Structure 1
Amino acid sequence: MEIMTTHPDPHTPPHGLDMRRLERLLGYRLRMAQVRLFKHFAETLADFAISPAQAGLLILADDNPEAS
């Protein structure tokens, strides 16, 4: 299942914009990494129709079978 979006790719700046100074900022780079990670996560779990929070709970339950 392909995830469709109406928003432009945040990693492709509009033509003519100088992004060099912005791309040197740690906060900006971290946010762009987070966007990519969430996109990958959503694509990976799309077939399961679960949210990131649900996936986190399933991982916790799997790693801690003694907890109830």
Structure 2
Amino acid sequence: MANRRVIAADSPRLKLIAIVGRKVTMHGCRSTFCDWCAVNGVDHALAQKALSHKWGSNVTQAYLREDMLE
């Protein structure tokens, strides 16, 4: 298995955090995104899918396979 820390260090998200120049975490960024979605009326299921979270029961996941793109 590859070293996840090495792979993550090259991610564009972490490069952006470095540019911002403030102490932030990926969890904080993801949480902020989730808050933004809620405030702006983004469907909860879509926000969870955008964050690659599992959403709903196993049955829901089996039947709701739509990519939710317009």
Band of TM-score, shorter chain: 0.3 to 0.5
Q: Given the two structures, how large is their TM-score scaled by the length of structure 2?
A: 0.35
Q: Given the two structures, how large is their TM-score scaled by the length of structure 1?
A: 0.36
**Bigger Cα Rg:** 1
